[in-house]
Each structure stands twice: as structure tokens, then as C-alpha cells.
Chains A and B, each alone.
Chain A
Amino acid sequence: SYELTQPLSVSVALGQTARITCGGTNIGSKNVHWYQQKPGQAPLLVIYRDSSRPSGIPERFSGSNSGNTATLTISRAQAGDEADYYCQVWDSDFVIFGGGTKLTV
């Protein structure tokens, strides 16, 4: 079965750029979606289809996907960005989530 690999944790200084990776075999051929989850809250979609932002998500959030790695980039990181982040793909009608990355600002 298809697997997505994320680092357990990423740290970033306030105002700097955070990059969270999501690895998977030939993930570049799939649509990757990213979710932010803060404690006690449901996940929130922040990037869909590799690099598109839903309405209301700041431009500081961006995404890319190529080869075996998709990346969520958070520019000018703020304290409010501290959360768990999950990548997600569909694989043969099944939905796969990455294990999640805790972002510390």
C-alpha cells in the first residue's frame, strides 16, 4: 500500500521560512493536499492540488510537488502557525494521510 513519510517535527524561528516535506514513491504524479491542525480543532485545508490556496489562507502558505517529495512552505512564520501539518493523497480510490509534522515556531 502507498505510504507518505513526514518528519515528526520541524522548528522555525519567528519570521523565518518553514519547509515541511512529504515523501512518497512518485508523489509528483499525484495531487497532494495539506492540512493544518491546532490542538482541539479539526483539520483545516491550507493547500490543495499541490500548490493552490483555499480562500482565506494567507499567501505565506505555498506548496510544491515533484519527483518523490511534496513540500509545504510557510514564509514569515508566525506564532499562530504552530500546529500539526498533514499531507494527503488519493491512491487507487483510497485516501492516505502522512503521519503528521509538528511545527514549532
Chain B
Amino acid sequence: QVQLQESGPGLVKPSETLSLTCTVSGGSISPYYWSWIRQPPGKGLEWIGYLDYRGTTDYNPSLKSRVTISVDTSRNQLSLKLTSVTAADTAMYYCARAAGPNWAYDYWGQGTLVTVSS
């Protein structure tokens, strides 16, 4: 059974970089599409971006200048970096898997809450 587990600091200071890791167990990175999705407290889901098994990425235009998604296939890990964070970046961050473009996200991590505060 595929499992995704997000990890990283729960508290990040304003203007600093948020860094999270998603570890995939029970399955391979390839040949899937992997996304980061976030949810501010009490609000809806916001797609951050994806990385496919070939390393191709695409990002939400509203976040594109601050986001990098990468993969370490040897460790079966996906990572997210979001620079210059503000309080508006406070959210639950999820990683999720899709079989490809136009496919649904069939596996999700449990999420990790990141708070941006000094």
C-alpha cells in the first residue's frame, strides 16, 4: 500500500524559506505525477505545483516566483521549497500522487501544518 508522509519544520519565520519533504513508501516515484497542495486554516485547497517522473515541473502562477519542487528518486522523496514566506503561507501542506495529467489524486499524505510567525 502506497503511503505518503510529509515532514518539516512546523514554524517558519517571515521572509525565510519553508522546506518540506514527502517520503513515499510502498511504491515508486515513477511513473507518476507528484504535487504539493496546501490548505490555509478554515479555507479551501490550493494547488502549489507538480513534478512528474521525468523531473518536469509546473507551478501555480500565483506562487511560481517563490516555489521549487524537486525529487530524490534514490530516497523516494519529494521536496518543496517556498521562499520569502509571509503569514499568508500558513497552511496545512499535503503531498499527493496522480497517475498523470488529467488524472485524480489517488493518494495523499496526512499533511503537515506550517505556521509562519516570528
Q: Which residues of A contact B (CB under 8 A)?
A: 1, 30-31, 33, 35, 41-45, 48-49, 54, 86, 88, 90, 93-100
Whether A54 contacts B106 by the Cβ 8 Å rule is yes
Whether B108 contacts A42 by the Cβ 8 Å rule is yes
Q: How many residues of B contact A (CB 8 A)?
A: 21
Q: Which residues of A contact B105 (CB under 8 A)?
A: 33, 35, 43, 45, 88
Q: Which residues of B contact A (CB under 8 A)?
A: 35, 37, 44-47, 50, 58, 60-61, 94, 101-106, 108-111
Q: Which residues of A contact B61 (CB under 8 A)?
A: 1, 94
Q: Chain A residue with minimal CB distance to B101?
A: A90
Q: Which of A1, A54, A94, A96 contacts B58 (CB 8 A)?
A: A94
Whether B108 contacts A95 by the Cβ 8 Å rule is no
Whether B35 contacts A95 by the Cβ 8 Å rule is yes
Whether B44 contacts A33 by the Cβ 8 Å rule is no
Q: Which of A33, A93, A100 contacts B104 (CB 8 A)?
A: A33
Whether B46 contacts A97 by the Cβ 8 Å rule is yes
Q: Which residues of A contact B102 (CB under 8 A)?
A: 30-31, 90
Q: Which of A41, A44, A97, A99 contacts B47 (CB 8 A)?
A: A97
What is the CA–CA distance of A88 and B105 in the complex, to the nearest angstrom?
9
Q: Which residues of B contact A88 (CB under 8 A)?
A: 45, 104-105
Q: Which residues of A contact B108 (CB under 8 A)?
A: 42-44
Q: Can you show 5 pairs from A to B with CB atoms below 8 A apart?
A: A31-B104, A42-B109, A49-B103, A86-B44, A97-B37
Whether A86 contacts B103 by the Cβ 8 Å rule is no
Q: Which residues of A contact B58 (CB under 8 A)?
A: 93-94
Q: Give the most central of A31, A43, A54: most B CB within 10 Å.
A: A43
